[in-house]
Every structure is written in structure tokens, then in C-alpha cells.
Amino acid sequence: MRNLFLLAIIVFILPVESKADNNDIKKGIELFEKSDFSGAKTFFESYLKQNPSSDTAVFYLGRIFFQEKNFDKSIEFFEKAVKMKDKNSGYHFWLGIVSGRKAQDASVLKQPGLAKKMKNEMEMAINLDPSNLNARINLAMFYIKAPGIMGGSFEKANEQAKEIKKLDYLQGLNIYMEIYKQEGKFDLAEKEIQNGIEKFPENTDLQFQLAYVYEELKNYEKAIFTFERIIKIDPTKIYAYYRIGRVGAMFNTNSEKAADCLKKYIQSGPAENLPSLAWGHYRLGMVYENLGDKNLAKSEYETALSLDPNHKEAKAALSKL
């Protein structure tokens, strides 16, 4: 249940009550947008005492409590904002977001109620503003991830994906990919991505998705070819080198090319959000083992462990040698 919700954390630019209120409250909004949540909290609490009818102040306090992971207080303030302006799509959206986030950590008994609240608020946000893209994305992901007994439905997810695609083609395509992945319909996923690539041939995110689909279809040659195409489009996408090496290592194919790509990946010094150097050396060890060179494989596994002593896979591989 913890991975039930996709939380689209975005910043809504919301209307305020009046020109005077706009001028006064602008300071607090600026503090919030600069991520000075402590300063913004002090400002909005003081502002609300002097302006108790300010739904904007109530809303931003809900956002601040969300940032503080105080989800009970966040729900309390978003519910207040909704009562003050129940026709505001953004308020309903954020009440849905925090309900979904709280559900991730809630007990089994409380999760269904919070999940239902999240779904209902997203639906309300969409009814009030059909162009609320983030509400549609979150509702679609709910339908995809939630079990049927709690309201999950691939049919309803497809309905949302269709509308999302009208608002943002690529976001809609991403939702379709999630649906097809969950249903195991990778042939449909391939067709959908190919249509996207025709529209956006230089979009490397689509190319990555296509390569992943080829991996699922066990068409490793096409997967490697697609990763190579990514590098041609944008040489800075060094993760493609790692993926070529990973495919070669895991499925014992194109070993020489896999080794070369992993060496390039290691030499590039990958960023923190990419697989670590330890993983690069571990995969290279796998490739050498596939090639029958146990000495080089052992050296790479040892290097992986020197970089990450807790690398379980490298430990296991080394012990087998």
C-alpha cells in the first residue's frame, strides 16, 4: 500500500481575496516560494489572526504543515480552506494529496478511508476544473495502483489517460505506459511509445522507455540499439552506457560492447542519482564472468566492495568465485 499514490508535488499560483489582501499576503507567499517555511509559517499565522477570513493564509499553512510532514495538521487546514472556498479546484487537489500521503503511513484499518478521501477530492478538483492536469495524473495513478476493492480500475485509468493526453501529450503517454506495464501489455506500450517518438524524435525519455519495453519483451538487441541511439542524440546521457552494460551482464549478450560501455560509464563518474560506481564495477565483473575471465571478474567484484562494503550482490558473486 505504501506505493499506492503518485504525489505530484507542484506549486499552485492561486487567486487571493482582494487587491489589498494580495499586497499584504504577498510577503508570506514569497517566503514560501523561497522555501523559507519557518518564516512563512510565522507570517501566515500572524496574518490569519488579523484576517481570519483569509482562505489563502489557511491554504498556505496547510502547505507548510505538509512540508513539515505534519499530515494531521495539514489535512485540518486544507479542510478549512475547502470549507471557506469549496469551488477552488486547487484546494481540493491538495486535500487529496495530503490524504493520499497520510494513507501511505496509516494502519490497515485507516488506509481505505484515506484512499477514498484522496480519490473523492481528486475527482472534485477535476469536476471544478477539467484542465487540472495534476489532479488527473494523481487520480489516474490511484486507479492504476489501488486494488479493485478500494476503487482501482484500469478502465477508469484509461479514461483519465485519454484526457491527460489532450492536455499534455507526454504526460498522457506516461500514464498509458503505467497502465500497460501493470497489465503486462508491452506490445501496446511499444506502439504507444513509437507514436510518441514520431512526434518527438529527439526526446530521450521516450527512447529510454522504448528500450525498457524491449527489455521486457526480451528483445535485447533492440534494447541495446535504442540505448545507443540515446547516446547519439545526447552524449551526456551516460545512464544509457550503464543500461547497455546491464543488459549484457544480466542476459549474457553483446559482452564486448557491454564491457566497453561499462568502462565508459565508470570513467564518466556518474552523478548521485545514477547507479553508483560500485554497481558499475559489479556489472563489469558479471560481464567478465560471462566471458570466462574469473580473474578480471574477481578484481571488479573486489573493487565494487572496496567502494561499497555492503554491496550484497558483489559479496555473493565473489563468494561463488
pLDDT tens digits for range 180-236: 999 999 999 999 999 999 999 999 999 999 999 999 999 999 999 999 999 999 999
User: What is the domain partition of the chain in residue ranges?
Assistant: 1-152
| Cell, residue 271 | 552523478
What per-residue confidence (pLDDT) applies to 8? 41
Helix residue spans in 129-153 (DSSP H)? 133-145
Q: State the pLDDT confidence band at 12, using cuts at 50, 70 and 90.
A: very low
CA distances from 110 to 11, 90, 113, 143 (A): 28, 25, 6, 19
Grid look-up 489563502 returns 56
Residue percentage of the chain with pLDDT more than 90: 84
Q: State the pLDDT confidence band at 10, using cuts at 50, 70 and 90.
A: very low
Q: What is the pLDDT of residues 13-35, one digit of tens each?
A: 444 443 345 668 999 999 999 99
* Helices 133-145 and 111-128, axial angle in degrees (round to 10): 150
**Beta carbons within 8 Å of 55's beta carbon, 6+ residues apart:** 17, 80, 81, 84, 85, 88, 91
CA nearest 150: which of 192, 91, 108, 201? 108
Any idea what DSSP says for residue 252? T
Neighbours of 320 (CB within 10 A): 9
Mean pLDDT of the chain: 92
Any idea what DSSP says for residue 31? H
C-alpha 67, offset from chain centre: 18
Q: In whole angstroms, what is the distance from residue 204 CA to residue 233 CA?
A: 7
What per-residue confidence (pLDDT) applies to 287? 98
Q: In whole angstroms, what is the distance from residue 73 CA to residue 69 CA?
A: 9
**Burial of 43 from C-beta contacts in 10 A (0-12 / 13-18 / 19+):** buried
**What's the full length of the chain, in residues?**
321
Question: What would the CATH number be for the domain defined by 1-152?
Answer: 1.25.40.10
Query: Helix (H, G, I), strand (E, B), or coil: what is residue 22?
Result: helix
- Can you tell me the mean pLDDT for 42-50? 96
What per-residue confidence (pLDDT) applies to 9? 38
What per-residue confidence (pLDDT) applies to 149? 83
Rg (CA), the chain: 24
CA dihedral 134, 137, 140, 141 (to 10 degrees): -110
